[in-house]
Amino acid sequence: MKPGIICFIIANFGVLKRNAFLGMMKRTKVKELLAAAPAGTDVMVKGWVRTKRDSKGIIFLAVNDGSTINNIQVVAEAAKFDTGLLKDINTGASVAVKGRLVESHGKGQRVEIQAAEIILYGKADPEVYPLQKKGHTLEFLREIAHLRFRTNTFGAVFRMRHAMAFAIHKYFNDKGFCYLHTPIITGSDCEGAGEMFHVTTLDLNNIPKNPAGGADFSKDFFAKETNLTVSGQLEGELGALALGEIYTFGPTFRAENSNTPRHLAEFWMIEPEMAFYDITDNMDLAEDFLKYLINYALENCRDDLDFLTSMYDKGLIDRLKFVLDNPFERITYTTAVKILEDAGRKWEFPVEWGRDLQAEHERYLVEVHYKRPVIITDYPKAIKAFYMKQNEDGKTVKAMDVLFPGIGEVIGGSQREEDYDKLLNRIRELGLKEKDFWWYLETRKFGTAPHSGFGLGFERLMLFMTGMSNIRDVIPFPRTPRNAEF
Ligand code: 4AD
Ligand code: MG
């Protein structure tokens, strides 16, 4: 018999023994046990030990299985169990526990499990397991991102991230939008900012050269220069101009070297694109969409929100409710500049019509002046992307940025230029590669129509929803300059 087959038999014998040991009982999730299971029934949970306490021969285990922030308390009489087994069950160990669900005398929990049988799946040696009972800093937890899911904080954050992703799909599906998968590898630069990661299979130690001395991309995998997308918008527009209303929800990549608590090199973006919407329809959708998501979180993520509010941001739930209950302020860029000039403040970055607004300006408008979310429209065309619809004044475009308290820009969008000549002129003016956009331009040649869209940065949204202050803490595996661990 081959060694592999012997191993297989031994491994399966182990599984059989375990199942017999646990009486083939079905596992119940902790969330369900705490919420609904009646006291007096026999149950089985599986999860990871968060804490262990020994009090006069009674062992108390707090077990968590990720289904909720709350733990189930397991009570085991030490005398009934193997001493070695109990010694090995420490913080971080994974276990299956079978026993009777009884009403709890302990504070803050309805029920607990009186353990009859315990299986230890995997130990976590307290000498070396990095997550101990004491709180750890978020910075330290970033260094052990492979284990940080096991903390209350990251359990809450990533359950909420899931809930928001689900709510986003639900919102658009209920409205009749079509989820369109736009490519991750592209040949164009949507934002024209040149902040792209190259995609290549060329041998970097021996790059084939063209006659001009540059890299010969005709020898590359796609026979042209390609990169990771910075936005699915351009392809999204193609879909909207046939399917009517679409949205994308996927990863986007920006090689901008900004090491800030608001920027990632890989982030997720939600980009709805709608035919026959003007800029006002676009703003209305953005506001309705954000309020829907806030409401969804308040209704469906309450335990996690309560935890995050108590631990990180006392004002979190109140702020969510405030934003939900109040209309966003809508002003033009020109008005914004006027307010900032009149603020009587000394700005780190100068305020002057034509210059882009910086975080300090955005935060002043939102947090000090209006004290609510602000949508700024009609930015100077020189500081916005080529595809935005040009206003009659020849100076501004129908852009819109949605700014949130504590964060700044969460959404960037616009009405799109649907006029073929104006769009082509703008591409040429900006020195963009016209040939990269031939297919995009054709939508303006054939059946062009007014349309609009925007992009919501998913992690910026998650900062707002969770009250976390660093974007690295709302994405499972952050990619930032000089950091692509895990
Ligand atoms: O304002 P941006 O650059 O807009 C676009 O990409 C448009 N094509 C969207 C559209 O109209 N369909 O980016 C949109 C949003 C920003 O408002 C911000 O929330 C987020 O994406 N974002 C980032 N989030 C994290 N890290 C970064 N480096 C980000 N850059 C933009
Ligand atoms: Mg923007």
**15 φ/ψ sector (left φ>0, alpha ψ -120 to 50, else beta):** alpha
**Cα gap 332→339, rounded to integer Å:** 11
Atom 6 of ligand 1, residue of closest alpha carbon: 231
Which residue from 460, 465, 475 has its CB within 8 A of the most atoms of ligand 1, so it is best to mutate? 460
Which ligand is closest in space to the CA of residue 452? 1
Tally of residues, the chain: 486
Which tokens go with 434? 């016209």
**Residues whose CB is less than 8 angstroms from the CB of residue 322 and which lie 6 or more positions away in sequence, other chains included:** 372
Distance CA 245, CA 178 (A): 6
| Contact yes or no for 208/219 (Cβ under 8 A) | yes
Name 87's Cβ contacts closer than 8 Å, sequence gap at least 6.
Answer: none
Q: Who's near 50: CB < 8 A, 6+ residues apart? A: 62, 63, 64, 71, 91
Pocket test for ligand 1, best of 230, 267, 459 (most atoms within 8 A of CB): 267
The structural domains of the chain, ordered by start, are 20-122 (2.40.50.140), 149-195+230-473 (3.30.930.10)
Q: Which ligand is nearest to the CA of 388?
A: 1
Atom 21 of ligand 1: nearest residue by CA position:
457
pTM higher than 0.75 for the full model? yes
Q: Is the CB of 269 under 6 A from ligand 1?
A: yes
- Going residue by residue through the chain, which has 486 residues, state the pLDDT in tens, using 9 for 90 and above: 455 555 444 445 444 444 455 567 899 999 999 998 788 999 999 999 999 999 999 999 999 999 999 999 999 999 999 999 999 999 999 999 999 999 998 777 889 999 999 999 999 999 999 998 778 999 999 999 999 999 999 999 999 999 999 999 999 999 999 999 999 999 988 787 778 999 999 999 999 999 999 999 999 999 999 999 999 999 999 999 999 999 999 999 999 888 999 999 999 999 999 999 999 999 999 999 999 999 999 999 999 999 999 999 999 999 999 999 999 999 999 999 999 999 999 999 999 999 999 999 999 999 999 999 999 999 999 999 999 999 999 999 999 999 999 999 999 999 999 999 999 999 999 999 899 999 999 999 999 999 999 999 999 999 999 999 999 999 999 999 999 999
C-alpha span between 295 and 301 (Å, rounded): 10
What are the residues whose beta carbons fall under 8 Å from the beta carbon of 89, sequence distance 6 or more?
Answer: 49, 52, 59, 61, 95, 118, 120, 123
Q: Tell me which residue has its CA closest to atom 1 in ligand 1.
A: 412
Which atom number of ligand 1 is nearest to the Cα of residue 413?
11
